Chains A and B, each alone.
Chain A
């Protein structure tokens, strides 16, 4: 990157390090930090939306909807994450391709399962075989977001379901006796009050989600842990201008610092949110806040 990087072997330590840390390969690990942050930024709200829908359908009075919500929570929470990430993504990808196949190639006579191979017509491939690599990567990333959202949505649904039941029942009854409809009670009384009960559980989920991001590599997205392992591995002089021994420990140490910092920042923010939500609530903490004021 720098002009003096032409012959790294002749450089002194500091300059060598500056060159080493700015190779194209290192740029990839810096970009992957943003990939992880972007994943979290998209997944968290999506998972929360899934959770909200799951929880509200689980407590619906319409039986099939309630069964659906409860089944979603129970099944997804029960399946081990790793099995879900390995199996579900390939299945999801194949489902999309199969739907496209049925729509776009109605004349196709061969079976889509040929021995071990899953074969759909070329224009049904997803992404198309001739699309550039970044399209493939974005598609993989979107699949990852969807999978994370479904998994963490189920956990969030359970948390929100519990939080909805924690709102004092007499509040809901009072609202009904004032003549509010069920919908009004839900949106005006239940939802605003449930967050304070849900937040401890949701903040737990957020922390777990941060640490679950290395599962991205199972989904074919090259995340920071993949690059740390790749960059840290011993390199021989024949294949690189920057030979070094096994430096994985240093790379993983950097990851440790990154994750710890990130967790700390999350804690501070979540504490603030908790204080806001507690304000004016009929809970112990809310009562304490009122007395202190």
Chain B
């Protein structure tokens, strides 16, 4: 066993000697399960608002980018240990996350979060059962309120929980819930809205200030010439800047 380990280590060390410049390829980490922000399209590729935005930002910052999907739960640890260079996954800027990673400036306005429930249910916001995706601002919001929080690893499962009656309602970004309610007669978006979070930004490693500056400049230029607003309108994500 010692031999195999040493052998592997030796192989790994000598595997490649090519020189890599600083960020010759920027790996963009996303979840791929949160339309319209990001999702996997029919041909199996990352698609959505953030795909278009990310490609445009990379073009403006003159970077070569590659898209990688990662589970939401481990999306921050994998960024920190260097498996990819950015998180672009509809991640709202919060103080808690900011302690671990750095954020670029926000590229969406704080998106109101809404509740989705079965048509005709009377949801009790202070004592009922509300579903949310784990490690999201919505989950933190419900945990702090009087309602009982049930957490799920994927956004999809939160909707399934409402359908099955496990939860009275689900709290998530309005842009995510709205299309679901439109296409399913049995589900409705409630009138009550919560304003949480400081908008969505790209996450980068705290030590990676160079990359952060490049993306900040690119986002600013997209804000200035109105292309960002056009994208936001196209994918129906909240108000523009």
Contact = CB atoms under 8 A, between A and B. Distances in A.
A289 to B, nearest CB: 36
B77 interface: yes
B39 interface: yes
Contact of A25 (B15, B27, B44, B80): B44
A148 to B, nearest CB: 14
Interface residues of A, number: 59
B42 A118 contact: no
Interface stretch (A187-195, A238-246, A264-272, A280-288): A238-246
Interface in A89-103: 90, 93-94, 96-97, 99-100, 103
B12 interface: yes
B229 interface: no
Nearest to A97: B82
A81 interface: no
B36 A239 contact: yes
B154 A233 contact: yes
Contact of A128 (B9, B20, B35): B20
B36 A23 contact: no
A120 B13 CA distance: 14
B44 A24 contact: yes
Interface string B57-90: 0000000101011110010011011110100000
A230 B40 contact: yes
Most buried by B among A72, A97, A128, A217: A128
Given A100-B13, A133-B68, A217-B71, A236 B179 contact: yes
A9 to B, nearest CB: 13
Contacts of B195: none
Contact of A119 (B8, B82, B156): B82
A128 B18 contact: yes
A131 interface: yes
A131 B20 CA distance: 9
Given A118-B81, A237-B183, A25 B40 contact: yes
Nearest to B163: A246
A200 interface: no
A234 B207 contact: no
A243 B41 CA distance: 11
Nearest to A102: B13
Contacts of A96: 9, 12-13
Interface in A62-108: 72, 86, 90, 93-94, 96-97, 99-100, 103
A122 B81 contact: no
B155 to A, nearest CB: 9
Given A120-B82, A236-B179, A239-B35, A126 B12 contact: yes
A127 interface: yes
Contacts of B78: 220
Contact of A129 (B23, B32, B205): B23
Contact of A53 (B1, B66, B163, B179): B1
Interface string A123-154: 10111111111001000000000100000010
Contacts of A116: 80, 100-101, 206
Contacts of A130: 20-21, 24-25, 64
Interface in A51-66: 53-54, 57
B43 A25 contact: yes
A62 to B, nearest CB: 14
A236 B180 contact: yes
Given A96-B9, A123-B20, A217-B71, A27 B206 contact: no
Contacts of A123: 17-20
B172 interface: no
A155 interface: no
A217 B71 CA distance: 8
A72 B24 CA distance: 41
Given A23-B42, A24-B43, A131 B206 contact: no
B82 A100 contact: no
A50 B20 CA distance: 35
Contacts of A125: 20, 82
Given A133-B66, A239-B39, 4 more contacts: A27-B44, A230-B40, A241-B42, A246-B159
Listed from nearest, the 10 A-B pairs whose CB atoms lie closest are A24-B43, A233-B156, A24-B44, A130-B25, A130-B24, A25-B44, A114-B207, A23-B42, A239-B35, A117-B207
Interface of B: 1, 4, 8-9, 12-13, 15-25, 27, 32-33, 35-36, 39-45, 47-48, 64, 66, 68-71, 74, 77-78, 80-83, 85, 100-101, 154, 156, 159-160, 163, 179-180, 182-183, 205-208
